[in-house]
Amino acid sequence: MILQRLTEHYDRIAASRNEDSQLAPPGFSRQKISFCIVLESDGRLNAIQSMQQQKGRALVATPMLLPGQGKPPGQGINPCFLWDNASYMLGWVSDTDKQERAVACFESFREKHLAVEAKISHFAFNAVCSFLRNWTPDKAMEAEAELLKVATNFGVFRIAGEMQYVHELVGLPVMTEGSASASQSIDEEGLCLVTGIRAQIARLHEPKIKGVAGAQSSGALLVSFNAASYESYGKSQSYNAPVSEDAAFRYTNALNHLLERRDRRISLGDSTVVFWADHFRGPR
């Protein structure tokens, strides 16, 4: 029932003309951006700019719609497309004990983008690829003082003189054959318990839920099965409670939207509570 109501809430917000809703369309997610790597048109580094905003006494990251979903937790190396943290984008990390992994992250980020450079063929993307091709993680030490201030969340690219960011100019990534991000689930079709329609079933319900007290900072899953004792009829992971990829995308984004709004979220003890209305009637 709750997933159905959240899915309906996503549809209401998406259909409204409220520009402040900031709901992510399919293929995108909202992420917190704290820095921007500004490049010259030939790929040379121009500047590393702060994307933090002053709110009260605190500096907070800027929410932004970006291609792809949130970064999965764990030790695996999973580069994003045209955005990521400083480890992936620059090979820099404040903890010197993790420098070896930061270098591996940067190499993976570089390989991901260079692999699709010819297919995208865009001047802004070519500049990013030129930067990645010539950049080495040791160069980040020259900007360490600035990175310590601004690289608290994720970063994006922008070409000097351009108003839009590179991910906005380029659009959705071109997935290469065999790419792990090209398809998050095995081809399994079934009856969606939310919509009642046969559709592609989501293996993971993404984006992850953020802003819940006690949950991981990287996000939590509202529906998941991570032990064999919870599985049944030979169905593992979220296939055990079949929800279509479309419905999972809509309800998770609706819930994240509510959690981001202070007027729709309260804390009761160790619980986080959100609330909303299923319709609005203005004055007659």
Q: Which ranges in 135-270 belong to alpha helices (H)?
A: 144-150, 166-170, 245-260
Domain that holds residue 139: 28-170
Domain identity same for 261 and 132: no
Q: What are phi and psi of 34, to 5 degrees?
A: -115, -10
Helix or strand (DSSP H, E) at 154: strand 154-159
Task: Confirm whether 72 is domain-assigned.
Answer: yes
Higher pLDDT, 218 or 66: 66
What pLDDT does 48 receive?
A: 96
Residue at a domain's end among 141, 170, 199: 170
Count structural domains, the chain.
2
- How far, in Å, CA of 187 to CA of 183, rounded? 9
**Residue 36 CA: distances (Å) to CA of 67, 91, 94:** 16, 15, 17
Residue 113 located in a structural domain: yes
Determine what percent of the chain is predicted with pLDDT higher than 70: 88
Q: Which residue has the tokens 């030939």?
A: 42
Render pLDDT for 264-279 as a digit per residue (tens, 0 to 9). Answer: 899 998 899 999 987 6
Quick one: 151 and 56 in the same domain?
Answer: yes
CA atoms within 13 Å, Cβ hemisphere of 175 = 11
